[in-house]
Amino acid sequence: MNHSNPALLIFLAMIPMGVVLFGGLQLFSHYLCDVRLGTAAVEFVILKRFVVWAIPRDEIMRFEKLSFWEAAFTWAINLVNRPFGPYVLLHRDRGIFRKVIVTPRDADAFCEAFREQWATTA
């Protein structure tokens, strides 16, 4: 009589698959979709070329860098393409999604460039 449980084997097989999935997302997802700072908006692009959504700069009231745990417990839409990358929270003054979490390639450079653009338009 065989008393082996296939659920345990399935669960154990899912652990390395999860590691491969999250590792692949961290390494390759920024080639599919990315966030960049355009001339007048924060742009969400696919394939490094096509803008699919943009948040105009005048709609953004403030922004802040977040840690992994702050991002995990923040009520916001997560447009994260780097699961363990640097997080930036954008606060909007209008729209359906008032808080948007993004993961730019370099959060410090993104925030500094955004501050410089904000200073030139104000």
The reported pLDDT for the residue numbered 1 is 53
pLDDT of residue 91: 93
At 72-83, the pLDDT tens digits run: 888 888 887 777
Of 17-21, 24-28, 62-66, which has the strongest mean pLDDT?
62-66
Q: What strand order describes the sheet that includes 99-102?
A: 60-66, 87-92, 99-102, 77-79
| CA dist., res. 66 & res. 102, Å (int) | 10
Assigned CATH topology for domain 6-121: PH-domain like (2.30.29)
pTM of the model: 0.73
pLDDT band per the 50, 70, 90 thresholds, residue 29: confident
pLDDT for residue 16 is more than 90: no
pLDDT at 2 (0 to 100) = 63
How many angstroms separate the Cα of 59 from the Cα of each of 14, 28, 44?
Answer: 42, 30, 15
In the chain, domain spans: 6-121
pLDDT of residue 72: 84
**Whole-angstrom Cα distance, residue 37 to residue 45?**
10
Q: Read off the DSSP letter of residue 57.
A: G
Question: At residue 71, does pLDDT exceed 70?
Answer: yes
**Amino acid symbol at 90:** L
pLDDT digits (tens, 9 = 90+) for 39-58: 889 999 988 889 999 999 88
pLDDT reported for residue 122: 61
